[in-house]
Each structure stands twice: as structure tokens, then as C-alpha cells.
Chain A
Amino acid sequence: MKRFLWFILPIIVLITLWEFVSRSGFVNLALFPPPSQVAVALWEMITSGTLFSDLRDSLWRLLAGLFLGSAFGVVFGLLTGRIKSFATTLTPIIQILRPLPAVAIMPLVIVWFGIDNGAKIFSIAFAVFFPVWINAHIGARQIPQTFLWSAKLFTNSPVKIFREVVFPAALPFIIAGIRTGIAIGFIMVFISELSGASSGLGYRISITSLAYRIDQMIAALIVLGALGAIADQLFAFGTRKIFPWIKFSSR
């Protein structure tokens, strides 16, 4: 209860202050709409269904991109981290692509995939891949030799060693990588919807700017921010549920 109070109190203070400043007459009301007006705009977006459809489209792109980027990142990271032939052949290619800002490939991706979901999901997956890959790669490289030796003494199956020893041993790193990936995914979903989209929270934010509906824009921004925080917490909660031992890990 006390913790909740400390969590909610600063938010209430901030909103009150904002309301007060907006209504004080010192600022342009059209540029700095008070929270009460933003709340009304948010309510309109909820009742008209635009918020729901924006959320649905953005979340779908985000989840699909995150899943693909993470899955490839984990698999390639474990392979390059553990198997020499993969490391020597793949690492240079990945290292050349890695410094490319995902935003810079957007025009090319749109040319390739058009302006449908494909382009957006690809660019999100592309951006998510690298932090997940590098973390999985480092995670797989730092596995104590005794773990690998024990595994080797008990089983001959490389698949089993990868699944039951290499993957869990690298998991704290992988989780850190995916959490970074989630944050980057949110940036990319917004950017990919700025151009060539007709729905989604990013699209909503850019279109409300053109329509000069600052209240709607702020409402959409709040939803995007809240979603990011919730997604990260949900992911952390989920990993603790699926891998209960992770709480003993120092990372």
C-alpha cells in the first residue's frame, strides 16, 4: 500500500501541475492542452474504436517483429558463440550489418516489401535482431567450461547439450538482449508507421500532428509509453514464471 502510494503520488502531482500550468493562461492552450482535455480525447479514441484498431495493428507488427528478431538473434547468437565455423563465417557479415541504423534501411525495405505489414515487421525484426544476437553470442561464450564438460560426460547428444545446457546458461544474457530488443522494437514500430501506414499508434501520432489535434497526439503518446512499460514488465514477469531459477542468477 505504501509502495503504491509512492508510485502514484508523483504522477498525481505531475498531472495537477500540468493542469494548473495549462489553464494558467501563460501558455497556448492549443499547444499545451491540459490533462483533462487529453483524457477526453483519449476517451473519444476509445469509444470511436480508433484506439483499439491502432493498438491491435501496432501490437501485431511489434510482436511479430520481436518474435522473428529474437528467435533469429538467439539461434544465431548461440551458434556463433559456441561453434567456431559459424563464428568465423557469420560474425563478419553480422558485424557489417550491425552498425546500420534500422531507420536507414526503411526506404529499401519499403521498395522490397511494399507498404504493408511485411515491411514494418521486417524492419522491426531487423532492429531487434542485433541486440539479441550480441547478447546471446556473449552469453554463449562465457559459459563455464565445467558446465560443458559435465554435459559432455553425461550425454553424447549435441542437441541436448545446446537445449539443456548452452541455452539456459546463456539465458540471463538472452533475456537482457530481448529486453533491449523490446525497447528498440517500440522505437521501430513508431518509425515504421510514420510513413506509409494507415493505422497504428505511430500513424495516429503523425496524423494528429497534421490535424493539429495535440490532445489526441499526447493521448496516443501516453498509450505508447504505457504500453512499452507494461510490455517490459510483462516480459520480466513471464520469464520469472517460465524459468523460476532465473531469480537466483546474478544478472
Chain B
Amino acid sequence: MSNISIKNLSVHYDGYCALKGLDFEACKGEFVAIVGKSGSGKTTFLHALARLVEFSGDISAPKNVGMVFQHYAVFPWFTASENIAFGLDNETKEKRAQIVRKHLKLAKLEDKKDKYPAELSGGQVQRIALARSLAHNPEVLLMDEPYGALDAYTRDKMQQWLLDIWTTHKKTIVFVTHNIEEAIFLSDRILVLNDKKFVGEYKISFARPRNESIKFSPEFNKLRQQIFESLNHSNN
């Protein structure tokens, strides 16, 4: 069952071609990772998918899309709970409070609900960003290098936390990163984006639930090497 189906997607910015003729499919509940270097068009791909930029081609995807941006985009003028509550206007007051409580708990920030983002750590802010998206109960979650700015230790913890959430919520996730290791650890499938096109596809068959130890296995290393070569090879 296909949840997202994209045919011949192209994006142009002021005469500059950012993506040309991409096809993409994702099943419901699938965790797809897209890896690529800076400027390869990964972020543009997500922006088109969320219909934030003009594009040509066909995108068939649910209307209710959540997005976690590269630079958090959590509003600094709202507290943790106000950020999560933003845009939940169609709910009754009680229902809204209940959703906020539930998602603060999910972000493990119940005791920080009245703190402003500037008073929280990078990992905590990023948990608000994800909790805020989930509060709108999206069918598809788009994540644009959400952990790019975190230190390695926090990044590992956030990856595990994301997998826990994905296992319970079963959202379709499209996760963009330049970190190959992160992509292998998290996803079911990896697409390599290079110079505005997909140049490779890798099925990741590590059993779930996954833990850190797989990162040291020979299969993991082999995959990493293959993807690394695919990233660099097609550049010539």
C-alpha cells in the first residue's frame, strides 16, 4: 500500500534547477532515509513533498504532513507547552490541554513545560519540534537533518527515542540526513540523492527493535561503504 507516490518531480528556483525528474514511493508506516551531500537537493525534496515550494510533476501524498526542520523552527517566544499547542485551534480547550500533556510526556519534558526553548538543550528543543509535529497527528512525518546540530552522544539517544516513537505511532517517515550511519541505523530503505537525482537504493534488513550494537557489525560496515561509494562515485 503506497502512502506517498511521486512521479517526475522537478523544482526550479529562479531559473536554477534544484531537482530534476525524481520518482519516489513510500509505503504506509515505512521509514525511508534520504542521504546526500550538501546541495544535492535533499531539503528541496522535502519542501516539495510538504508543498512549501513550487514544483512540477505529480505528488500523491496525504494532506496532513508534519515536518521537523533542520534548524528547529521551534518558536522562541512560546514555552514548550505553548509550542506544542500552536495551531490546535479546532480542538476544545480540554482536548487541547490533553494533547499537550500527552506530547510533553512523549518528549519527556513534563517538568519543563513552562520553559522557553532558549532555556533548554538542543536535544530537548528537538524533542519539542517532533512532539509539536506529532500533536497534529500527521500521516507522514518529514524530517530534515533534525539531529545535524547535536553532539554524537545526544544524537544516539535521539535516534533511539525516534525509533521508539516510530514503533508505537507507525507514521510514514521520510528522514533526510548526510550521516550514512544514522540513515542505516534508523531506516528500512535508503535512497542516495546526488546532483538532483536518486542514484542508489539500499534495503536495510536489520531486525527491529534495533540497538547500538548493530553499528559495529560487519554488515553495517559493508553497507556504509557501499553507500559512501555510491555518494562519491556518481559525482564524477
Question: Quick one: given A146-B73, A147-B75, A168-B77, are A248 and B116 in contact (CB under 8 Å)?
Answer: yes
The one of B70, B71, B75, B89 that contacts A165, using a Cβ cutoff of 8 Å: B75
Most B Cβ at <10 Å: residue of A147, A152, A168:
A147
The answer to whether B86 touches A146 (Cβ under 8 A) is no
Structural contact, A245 and B89, CB atoms closer than 8 A: no
Cβ-defined contact, B71 with A248, below 8 A: no
> Which stretch of B12-20, B61-69, B154-162 is in the interface?
B61-69
Also in contact, A146 and B75, with CB within 8 A (given A155-B87, A157-B89): no
Bound Cα distance from A152 to B116, whole angstroms = 21
- Residues of B within 8 Å of A169, CB to CB, are 77
Query: Judging by beta carbons under 8 Å apart, are B75 and A168 in contact?
Result: yes
> What's the minimum C-beta distance from B69 to chain A, rounded to whole angstroms?
4
State the CA gap A157–B87 with chains docked (Å). Answer: 9
CA distance A144 to B75 in the complex (A): 11
Residue of B nearest to A246 (CB): B77
A245 touches B136 (CB 8 A): no
Q: How far is the CB of B50 from chain A (nearest CB, A)?
A: 7
Chain B, range 70-88, C-beta contacts under 8 Å to A: 70-73, 75-78, 86-87
Would you give the 0/1 interface string for B83-125, flagging 1 where the beta carbon is closer than 8 Å to chain A?
0001101000000000000000000000000001011000000
Q: Does B77 contact A245, Cβ atoms closer than 8 Å?
A: yes
Distance A169 CA – B78 CA, assembled complex (angstroms): 11
B52 within 8 A of partner (CB) = yes
- Mask: chain A, 139-151; 1 = CB below 8 Å from B; 0 = not: 0000010110111
A171 interfacial by beta-carbon distance below 8 Å: yes
Contact call A153/B65, Cβ cutoff below 8 A: yes
> Which B residues are CB-close (under 8 A) to A245?
76-78, 116, 118
Output the least CB separation between A205 and chain B (Å). 42
A116: interface (CB < 8 Å):
no
Q: How far is the CA of A182 from the CA of B64 in the complex (A)?
A: 46
Once the chains bind, are A154 and B87 in contact (CB under 8 Å)? yes
Q: Does A164 contact B (CB under 8 A)?
A: yes
Q: Provided the pairs A146-B69, A164-B86 are in contact, do residues A153 and B50 lie with their beta carbons within 8 angstroms?
A: yes
Which residues of A are found within 8 Å of B71, using beta-carbon distances? Answer: 144, 146
B73–A150 CB distance below 8 A: yes
Within the complex, what minimum Cβ distance (angstroms) separates A164 from chain B?
7
> Roughly how many angstroms separate A79 CA and B228 CA in the complex, as a whole number?
48
Select one of A153, A165, A171, A248 contacting B67, CB under 8 A. Answer: A153
Q: Mark A162-201, 1 if CB is under 8 A from B, else 0.
A: 0011001101000000000000000000000000000000
Considering the chains assembled together, what is the distance between the CA atoms of A245 and B75 in angstroms?
A: 10
Knowing A146-B71, A164-B86, the reply to whether A153 touches B66 (Cβ < 8 A) is: yes
Complex interface: chain A residues within 8 A of B89 (CB) = 155, 157, 160
- CB neighbours (8 Å) of B70 from chain A are 146
Complex CA gap A2/B134 in Å reads 52
Residues of A within 8 A of B66 (CB): 153
Distance in Å: Cβ of B176 to nearest Cβ of chain A:
14
Known: A154-B87, A245-B118. Is A149-B52 also a contact (CB below 8 A)?
Answer: yes
Q: Complex Cα distance A153/B132, Å?
A: 11
Please tell me if the beta carbons of B52 and A248 are within 8 angstroms of each other in the complex.
Answer: no
Contact B118 A149 (CB under 8 A): no
A168 CA / B87 CA spacing, docked (Å): 16
Q: How far is the CB of A82 from chain B (nearest CB, A)?
A: 16
Q: Report chain B residues within 8 Å CB of A160.
A: 87, 89
Decide yes or no whether A237 CB sits under 8 A from chain B: no
- Subset of 8 A-B contacts with CB under 8 Å: A144-B73, A147-B75, A149-B50, A150-B67, A150-B69, A153-B65, A160-B89, A248-B118
Chain B contact residues, CB within 8 Å of chain A: 47, 50, 52, 65-67, 69-73, 75-78, 86-87, 89, 116, 118-119, 132, 136
Other than the known A154-B86, A157-B89, what 11 A-B pairs have Cβ atoms closer than 8 Å?
A146-B70, A150-B69, A153-B65, A153-B67, A164-B75, A165-B75, A169-B77, A243-B77, A245-B76, A245-B77, A245-B116
